[in-house]
Amino acid sequence: MDKIIINGGRVLNGKVRVEGAKNAVLPVMAAALLASTGVNVIRDVPNLSDVGTIKEVLKSLNAEVDYFPRTDEVIIDSSGILSSEAQFEYVRKMRASILVMGPLLARNGFARVALPGGCAIGSRPIDQHLKGFEAMGAEITFGHGHVEAKVEDGLKGAKIYLDFPSVGATENIMTAAALAKGTTVIENAAKEPEIVDLANFINEMGGKVVGAGTDSIRIEGVSKLYGTTHHIIPDRIETGTFMVAAAITGGDVTIENAVPEHNAALISKLGEMGVEITDLDEGVRIRAQHPLKAVDLKTMPHPGFPTDMQSQMMALMLTTTGTSVMTETVFENRFMHVEEFRRMNAAVKIEGRSVIISGPSELQGAEVAATDLRAAAALILAGLVAEGVTRVTELEHLDRGYVNFHHKLAALGADIIRVSPEKQPKQTPQFA
Ligand SMILES: CC(=O)N[C@H]1[C@@H](OP(=O)(O)OP(=O)(O)OC[C@H]2O[C@@H](n3ccc(=O)[nH]c3=O)[C@H](O)[C@@H]2O)O[C@H](CO)[C@@H](O)[C@@H]1O
Ligand SMILES: C=C(OP(=O)(O)O)C(=O)O
């Protein structure tokens, strides 16, 4: 079992470059299945285990997928006959595998996908995805741990109002609608930058999507989509994680390839805390001097504060002076990291969907286990400022979403290494 070992107390300084966004590349690679002619070339693909998983999913559906980690490029040929079933072994590993359902239904008129079930951060149903497919004429059935969607004469455009602006449902409905007959309108759609990236990709393949980034997306179905070349947007959550790394250590870090507009809610909160943020041509510069002020915040769908930054921000709140309240409204159970913070001597209390943080905590190094992807990053961030040595395990979560996180932190001045069971310093595992 790999471990990251951090000796706390170093101030971070320097430059770091963020990768392409995990949450953009997964839907884009799934949507590549829509192209029945030509090949898709996807650029700025981060070398993450989740990318390896979606690659395997696409291959299991008979797409040809080649990944070139040196150039961060994936080439996908989905011009052949596609299989219609995404198996449990993939969906269990990565919920985003469900995103092949829209493209398969559009291409084949049938999709059978293992039910994703819940995960460490909540129950995560897919009712809104299915409601969208049903409105477009699909018949939905469940059985033997799978969900099936079937349509006899092709999908038909429809008006769909989402009960909640679900990112995945918006993406799955957009891809299904891209090849449907007629026009689909998604109301109360998710507005995340990754939705805009997916819409751009569909349009680059020859699709007709307008309104992505607003709460009303209009998709005019076309009869065929063609392979194209697409660049993935920078990862706003990796960007935010490095912003917090700079702030928590009282450092001065320039994050290259960052898009400040994608992180407006986080930048605003960091500003309230007393962190200095400067937009630069190359990205964004973060400077901080402690003590920082306590703030309250609530996670919300975009453009609100992202739930994927909740645990990292909580690490920062542990170091601020005063009482902070963090409220999670997107997932019902995304506080598993709180117990791990407590091992590090954090003064934190869960009250319903909120966590009350009495700061500053005198954080102490400890042995802690990552409970999910962002919790892994948050524990490492806490370790950067804890007194003594912190050891973080369960790094398979970290590898889903961060490329060489420990190397990037070490290059900024952190005292951090990753060891394998043989105690050898190691790179993030490569899947290619
Ligand atoms: C691969 C990817 O892009 N993952 C992101 C995506 O996940 P994901 O697409 O799964 O997140 P959603 O926006 O769909 O989920 C948000 C909330 O809606 C609920 N819900 C969702 C769908 C549905 O049919 N019914 C329903 O009730 C979920 O249980 C959850 O409470 O957006 C989340 C919210 O920003 C992020 O945390 C994830 O990192
Ligand atoms: C929750 C996340 O991802 P996923 O939806 O893939 O679990 C995340 O990226 O923080």
| Ramachandran region, residue 44 (left: φ > 0; alpha: ψ -120 to 50; beta: rest) | left
Residue 66 lies in a domain: yes
Annotated binding site for UDP-N-acetyl-alpha-D-glucosamine: 95, 124-128, 308, 330
The predicted model scores a pTM of: 0.97
Residue-wise pLDDT tens digits, 158-178: 999 999 999 999 999 999 999
Residue 427 lies in a domain: no
Query: Mean pLDDT across the chain, nearest whole number?
Result: 96
Residue 423 in this model has a pLDDT that exceeds 70: no
Residue 390 lies in a domain: yes
**Same domain? 201 vs 250:** no
Range of the domain at 327: 3-18+234-419
Total Cβ atoms within 10 A of residue 281: 4
**Same domain? 289 vs 256:** yes
Residue 424 lies in a domain: no
Residue 432 lies in a domain: no
**Same domain? 40 vs 85:** yes
**Same domain? 242 vs 212:** no
**Same domain? 202 vs 340:** no
Proportion of the chain above pLDDT 90, given as a percent: 93
| Ramachandran region, residue 28 (left: φ > 0; alpha: ψ -120 to 50; beta: rest) | alpha
**Same domain? 299 vs 381:** yes
CA of 254 to the centre of ligand 1 (A): 30
Write down which residue in 213, 231, 249 finishes a domain.
231
**Same domain? 107 vs 215:** yes
Give the residue, out of 29, 167, 302, with the most ligand 1 atoms within 8 A of its beta carbon, to mutate for a pocket test: 167
Structural tokens at position 291: 């003590």
Write down which residue in 172, 204, 231 finishes a domain.
231
Residue 78 lies in a domain: yes
**Same domain? 334 vs 213:** no
Report the pLDDT averaged over residues 243-272.
Answer: 98
Structural tokens at position 370: 């990552």
Residue 428 lies in a domain: no
Report the pLDDT averaged over residues 284-294.
Answer: 97
The closest residue, in CA terms, to atom 12 on ligand 1 is: 166
Please identify, by atom number, the ligand 1 atom nearest to the C-alpha of residue 306.
Answer: 35
Residue 429 lies in a domain: no
Between the two ends of the chain, the Cα-to-Cα distance in Å is 21
CA of 372 to the centre of ligand 2 (A): 9
**Same domain? 100 vs 214:** yes
Write down which residue in 231, 259, 288 finishes a domain.
231
Show the ligand 1 pocket: residues with CB < 6 angstroms: 23, 26, 95-96, 122, 124-129, 164, 166-169, 190, 194, 307-308, 330-331
Residue 76 in this model has a pLDDT that exceeds 90: yes
The closest residue, in CA terms, to atom 10 on ligand 2 is: 308
**Dist CA 233 CA 54 (whole Å):** 18
Total Cβ atoms within 10 A of residue 266: 23
Residue-wise pLDDT tens digits, 23-75: 999 999 999 999 999 999 999 999 999 999 999 999 999 999 999 999 999 99
pLDDT band at residue 428 under the 50/70/90 scheme = low
CATH of the domain at 273: 3.65.10.10
**Same domain? 60 vs 133:** yes
CA of 296 to the centre of ligand 1 (A): 23
pLDDT band at residue 117 under the 50/70/90 scheme = confident
pLDDT at 166 (0 to 100): 98
**Same domain? 216 vs 262:** no
**Same domain? 258 vs 164:** no
Residue 199 in this model has a pLDDT that exceeds 60: yes
Residue 431 in this model has a pLDDT that exceeds 80: no
- Catalytic site residue from 75, 119, 222, 300: 119
Active site residue 119: yes
CA of 260 to the centre of ligand 2 (A): 21
Amino acid at 230: H
